[in-house]
Amino acid sequence: MTALLLIVGSFLTWASAEETTLEEFDPGVPPMSVTTYAAVSGMGSVSLDLAVTGAPEGFGDVSSYLEHSASDAEDDTRMSGLWTVACGVVLALGAVLLLTGRFGRVGAVLAALGGLAALIAASVFLADPLGAVTVGTIGDSASDDFTAGVGLWTVLAGALLPVAAGATSVVRTRRG
C-alpha cells in the first residue's frame, strides 16, 4: 500500500502556484481580473491555466499560447519523481519478500531502506518543491510563489508509514 502511495504520488502535482492580478486598461473601465495557475508534476510535466474575468471585447483566446508556454517550460524540468518511484519499487519488493516468508530478513532490510530513502527524498523535495522539479535558475525567481502539491504530500505519507512501522517493529522486538 505504501509503495503504491510513493509510485502514484510521483506522477501527481509536486509544485503548484496560483496568482490573481487586476489589469486596468482605461480609466473608468472596470479592471480585468487574471488568475494564473501553474503546476509541475513529479515527472516534470507542466500544466498552465488562465482564468480571465471582465476582459474587454476582442481579448481573444490564449489557450494556444498556454500550450506552447507549458511545452517550453517542460524543457526546464526534471523527473525527480523517478527517485520516489524507485524507492516505491524497492519497498514493494521488500514487502513481497516479507509477505511470502522467503528471505524475510532481506525483505525487511529492503522495506526499511526503501522507506527511509523515500522519507529523506520527500523531505528534501518538500523544502523547495519547485526546485525539486526544475533545472537551472528557472525556479529561483518564482520559488516562493510555489507550494508543495498533493503528489509530494502523498509521497511523504507513503514514506512515513513504513518508517513508522519499522520503528514500531524494532520497539516491539526489543520488549518481547
The mean per-residue pLDDT over the stretch 142-151 comes to 84
Phi, psi at 145, each rounded to 5°: -80, -20
pTM for the structure as a whole: 0.81
pLDDT of residue 103: 83
pLDDT of residue 142: 62
pLDDT of residue 136: 67
pLDDT of residue 126: 93
Chain-wide mean pLDDT for the chain? 84
Distance (Å, whole) CA 86 – CA 92 = 10
Q: Is the pLDDT of residue 62 over 80?
A: no
Could you identify the residue written with the cell 507550494? 147
Q: What residues make up the domain containing 22?
A: 2-175
CB 158 within 8 A of CB 10: no
Number of domains in the chain: 1
How far apart are the two ends of the chain, measured CA to CA in Å? Answer: 27
pLDDT in tens, 83-141: 999 999 999 998 898 888 888 788 888 888 899 999 999 999 999 898 888 886 555 55
CB 151 within 8 A of CB 9: yes
pLDDT of residue 148: 93
* Residue type present at position 2: T
Instruction: Tell me the three cell numbers of residue 133.
Output: 522539479
Could you identify the residue written with the cell 500550450? 67
Neighbouring C-beta atoms of residue 156, cutoff 10 Å: 22
* Residue type present at position 117: A
